Amino acid sequence: MKYSEARFRALVTATSDVIYRMSPDWKVMRQLDGRSFLQTTGEPLSDWQERYIQAKDRDRVTQGIQEAIRNRTIFQLEHQVIRNDGTLGWTFSRAIPILDDNGEIVEWFGAASDISDRKLYQSELEARVEDRTKALNKANSDLQVSNEDLQQFAHVASHDLKEPLRKIKTFARRLQEEEENILSEKGKMYVDKVLSSAERMATMIDGVLTYSSLNGGGFAMEHIDLNSVMSDILVDLELMIQQKQGKVEFSKLPAIYGGRVLIHQLFYNLINNSLKFSHPQRKPVISIEAQKEKRNGKLVIMTISDNGIGFDRDHSNVIFDTFTRLHSKDRFDGTGLGLALCKKIVERHDGTISATAQEDVGAIFTIALPVSQPK
């Protein structure tokens, strides 16, 4: 017994933790040095749970003790305790069974660390995370409502703008046709400018409608033969290709997974963009190539390259922004939405798009699209 007492004293001296000794069945606490955290006792206690353990944790502590006794294993548990000053604290308790020569438990030696500050910090952190999660969920909900309102507003505003714009175009044409003989050259020029601006406005409205519609769903996803898509686009752009005396080259393109309408719009915009910004001193040549990603084959990497006017490399990161124009609208018609639409379509398909170019040499657009439906 004296040897056990000496070991207990040595352990108490060597650590700042609460140190305790328990009977083999844990019914009696033989000794406890509370380290000013718990109430120290040198007398055996049979009511130690009522004195030290928070009521709601007693069943859990008892279950942990019974399991440790049954398996002759180390007992360890985090639980609340009643501190020396009567307030509640937290401890991590760990006790080791001392066995005799027959493998029977003769005593338990244990140590308990004061983890009150850590549990308080953890509780505060969890409360902050919960508050931020609630705030984020509310913000996401508000953002969704805002996006839906904006989308509805874009549709309503665009549709409302179409009617007065249609009248402007109608009466401008009537003025041009019916009053041609009495209009001066300057008057005719003004009418031409009105019609040109009205056409540009109509194109802008259609672009806004298309762009806003991409925020919603409703697009059927399917496997798409890109060769078929390209053939349809060449039919759509036949007149422009003839006027430019251009050439669009592609062969044996793979299939991808996506929305057919969106994919058609994507490549239509890119090819149309290359034709629009062709070099004035050479006929446009647009080359479309594709290959599966070498690492896992889950993506198709496509390049659309042309020999057009190109652009400054510093603009590679901004050309996909909404309403971005690198050239004067008097020189090249457009809404500034074409490439923004391309980026949005690609992102809707969990893909990527980038561009590189050299002024007066041409541009290369690189697109990665999934071969099959993403998980």
**pLDDT tier at 144 (50, 70, 90 boundaries)?**
low
What is the full DSSP assignment across 264-295?
A: HHHHHHHHHHHHHT--TTS--EEEEEEEE-TT
**pLDDT tier at 74 (50, 70, 90 boundaries)?**
very high
Contact 39, 58 (CB under 8 A): no
Across the range 270-282, mean pLDDT stands at 90
Domains of the chain: 2-114 (3.30.450.20), 116-216 (1.10.287), 221-370 (3.30.565.10)
What is the full DSSP assignment across 172-186?
A: HHHHHHHSTTT--HH
Q: Which of residues 9 and 166 earns the better pLDDT score?
A: 166
**pLDDT tier at 323 (50, 70, 90 boundaries)?**
very low
**Which residue, among 174, 194, 332, 170, has the nearest Cα to 186 in the 3D structure?**
194
Residues 6+ away with beta carbon under 8 Å from 197: none
Across the range 215-222, mean pLDDT stands at 63
Contact 283, 245 (CB under 8 A): yes
Across the range 238-252, mean pLDDT stands at 90
- Mean pLDDT is highest, among 150-154, 237-241, 243-247, 291-295, for 243-247
Counts for the chain of helices (H) and strands (E), in that order:
9, 12
- Give the sign of the dihedral formed by CA 45, CA 47, CA 51, CA 56: positive
pLDDT at position 148 is 63
**pLDDT tier at 70 (50, 70, 90 boundaries)?**
very high
27-58 pLDDT, tens per residue? 998 878 777 778 777 788 888 888 888 888 89
pLDDT at position 201 is 73
Instruction: Name the strands in the sheet holding 352-358, side by side, starting at the edge strand that comes first in the sequence.
Output: 247-249, 285-292, 299-306, 362-370, 352-358
| pLDDT higher than 80, residue 108 | yes
CA angle 344, 349, 351 (to 5 degrees): 85
φ/ψ of 308, rounded to 5, equals -80, -155
**pLDDT tier at 365 (50, 70, 90 boundaries)?**
very high
Average pLDDT, the chain: 81
Buried b (16+ CB within 10 A) or exposed e, 359-369: eeebbebebbb
Across the range 277-291, mean pLDDT stands at 92
φ/ψ of 157, rounded to 5, equals -60, -45
pLDDT at position 282 is 92
| pLDDT higher than 80, residue 375 | no
Buried b (16+ CB within 10 A) or exposed e, 65-87: beebbeeeeebebebbbbbeeee
Across the range 279-308, mean pLDDT stands at 87
Across the range 79-108, mean pLDDT stands at 89
φ/ψ of 211, rounded to 5, equals -65, -45
Give the pTM: 0.48
According to DSSP, the residues that pair with 111 across neighbouring strands are 19, 94
